[in-house]
Amino acid sequence: MVKISKNMVALTGADAVAEAIRQINPDVVAVYPITPQTPIAQKFATFVADGKVDSEMIRVESEHSAMSATVGASAAGARAMTATSSNGLALMHEIVYIAASTRLPIVMPVVNRALSGPINIHCDHSDSMAERDSGWLQIYNENAQEAYDATLIAMVIAEHPDVRLPVMVCQDGFITSHSVENVEILPDTVAKKFVGKHLADFPLLDVANPVTYGPLDLTDYYFEHKYQQRQAMDNSVKIIKQVAKQYKEISGRSFEFMEKYKLSDADYVIVTMSSTAGTTKAVVDSMRKQGKKVGLLKLKVFRPFPFDEIVSNLSKAKKIAVLDRADSFGALGGPLFNEIRSAFYESKVKPEIYNYIFGLGGREIGLDDIENVYKELMVSKKLPLYKYYGVRK
């Protein structure tokens, strides 16, 4: 392992991501402000103004334009990034699909926020979950340190020749993005070496080798191009593990598809993502002292979804509560719940799995709430397959 000096600083989740973008030093960053993502763009704008990066910062008139400019820059051969939240991500929807279909290695921090309407600026995962089938990799982060690490890691994964897909790096709006924590920042030289130089693949501006982007693609080739996207997403499983191993060698910090917290002997398990995992860990510690065999599985990588690892790590549990901070209207529960139930379809061992949809629009979930979920799992009677936890009826 390479020995490096620690550089611990107090940063918000938004500022931590901005620091990672500064170290990446992308050629182009196209931005439009939206709460609670704005601090990322604002902080990075100061780096541009102070001459700390070489990036061309494009201030556009909408998030649709931000993603369009990022796509254009990436297709031209630039290393390009943007960031957004909520309705901004929804406004990008058309171009989000184009970015993935065109196999552009864009990294986009997403500060999770509820989608309108009614208008709400607080956290849930409805924005990024609405894009879960767009062809982007999705990484969800518990805290500022994870968001910083994942931003650097995402760039290397996205640009790998066996992947060439865009990546969303998600953190919870306000809960993580605006809270100050200690974050260990890699030395600039170490971070830059890890990310490496950008090598454009079929750049649009290489006039000696002309290519086209966004052509009409009808029944003759469209299906094959979609299949190639699927292959790239499947390839990313191996590449994520390779890049995570490289990152641990320089940082000492692991990056896994999921974190297993006191899970090995747990009878009752909560599965969740992002900042709620931190609250759950505190409850697990408290209940373990009472002799309760409870545990947590925190999912970090939602796309590609790690079906086999989910089954292998949860098969020993008696009952599982999947906490979804997003709903999937008309489906049988939330999006994370449905992925996990699907993962167990072929398994001979099937724990009881229940869904708790919680925290929509920033509704708080505290220690007592998490403890109550565990206590509900411990009762012998059968629970509702899915329920809305914390909603007034």
Rounded mean pLDDT of 223-238?
98
Residue 29, CB-side half-sphere exposure with 13 Å CA sphere: 26
Residue 60 has pLDDT above 60, yes or no: yes
Domain tally, the chain: 2
Is 150 in the same domain as 282?
Answer: no
Ramachandran quadrant class, 214 (left: phi over 0; alpha: psi -120 to 50; beta: rest): left
Is 285 in the same domain as 137?
Answer: no
Residue 188 has pLDDT above 50, yes or no: yes
Does residue 87 lie within any of the structural domains?
Answer: yes
Tens of pLDDT, residues 235-271: 999 999 999 999 999 999 999 999 999 999 999 999 9
Rounded mean pLDDT of 332-358?
97
Q: What is the pLDDT of residue 3?
A: 44
Residue 301 has pLDDT above 60, yes or no: yes
What's the gap between Cα 380 and its chain centre? 35
Q: What is the pLDDT of residue 359?
A: 98
Tens of pLDDT, residues 87-102: 999 999 999 999 999 9
What is the CATH classification number for the domain harbouring 21? 3.40.50.970
Is 292 in the same domain as 384?
Answer: yes
Residue 272 neighbours by CB distance under 10 Å: 28
What residue type is assigned to position 89 of the chain? L
Per-residue pLDDT band for 215 (boundaries 50, 70, 90) equals confident
Asked if 359 and 276 touch (Cβ cutoff 8 Å), the reply is yes
- Give me the sheet containing 319-324, strands edge to edge: 258-261, 294-299, 268-272, 319-324, 352-358, 386-389
Q: What is the pLDDT of residue 382?
A: 84
Per-residue pLDDT band for 214 (boundaries 50, 70, 90) equals confident
Per-residue pLDDT band for 393 (boundaries 50, 70, 90) equals confident
Q: What is the pLDDT of residue 6?
A: 73
Is 241 in the same domain as 264?
Answer: no
Q: Is 321 exposed, middle or buried (0-12, 13-18, 19+ CB in 10 A)?
A: buried
Is 73 in the same domain as 190?
Answer: yes
Q: What is the pLDDT of residue 119?
A: 97
Distance, CA of 307 to CA of 339 (rounded, Å):
8
Tens of pLDDT, residues 305-342: 999 999 999 999 999 999 999 999 999 999 999 999 99
Q: What is the pLDDT of residue 328?
A: 98
Does residue 23 lie within any of the structural domains?
Answer: yes
Residue 221 has pLDDT above 80, yes or no: yes
What's the gap between Cα 387 and its chain centre? 25
**Site of tokens 């890699």:** 186
Does residue 369 lie within any of the structural domains?
Answer: yes
Is 25 in the same domain as 160?
Answer: yes
Residue 345 has pLDDT above 60, yes or no: yes
Q: Is 94 exposed, middle or buried (0-12, 13-18, 19+ CB in 10 A)?
A: exposed
**What is the residue range of 276's domain?**
258-389
Per-residue pLDDT band for 2 (boundaries 50, 70, 90) equals very low
Q: What is the pLDDT of residue 218?
A: 95
Tens of pLDDT, residues 131-175: 999 999 999 999 999 999 999 999 999 999 999 999 999 999 999
Per-residue pLDDT band for 4 (boundaries 50, 70, 90) equals very low
What residue type is assigned to position 357 of the chain? I
Is 163 in the same domain as 294?
Answer: no
Residue 355 has pLDDT above 50, yes or no: yes
Is 267 in the same domain as 344?
Answer: yes
Instruction: List, in order, residues 6 or more apart from 59 with CB less than 8 Å away.
Output: 31, 32
Is 45 in the same domain as 139?
Answer: yes
Tens of pLDDT, residues 39-56: 999 999 999 999 999 999
Residue 118 has pLDDT above 70, yes or no: yes
Is 317 in the same domain as 379?
Answer: yes
pLDDT, mean over the chain: 97
Is 72 in the same domain as 143?
Answer: yes
Tens of pLDDT, residues 61-87: 999 999 999 999 999 999 999 999 999
Per-residue pLDDT band for 178 (boundaries 50, 70, 90) equals very high
Per residue, the 3-state secondary structure of the chain, as one string, reads: CCCCCCCEEEEEHHHHHHHHHHHHCCCEEEECCCCCCHHHHHHHHHHHHCCCCCCEEEECCCHHHHHHHHHHHHHHCCCEECCECHHHHHHCHHHHHHHHHCCCCCEEEEEECCCCCCCCCCCCCHHHHCCCCCCCEEEEECCHHHHHHHHHHHHHHHHCCCCCCCEEEEEECCCCCCCEEEEECCCHHHHHHHHCCCCCCCCCCCCCCCCCCCCCCCCCCHHHHHHHHHHHHHHHHHHHHHHHHHHHHHHCCCCCCEEEECCCCCCEEEEECCCHHHHHHHHHHHHHHCCCCEEEEEECEEECCCHHHHHHHHCCCCEEEEEECCCCCCCCCCHHHHHHHHHCCCCCCCCEEEEEEECHHHCCCCHHHHHHHHHHHHCCCCCCCEEEECCCC
Is 140 in the same domain as 287?
Answer: no
Q: What is the pLDDT of residue 360?
A: 98
Q: Which residues of 1-10 are buried (b: 16+ CB within 10 A; e: fewer)?
A: eeeeeeeeee
Residue 352 has pLDDT above 90, yes or no: yes
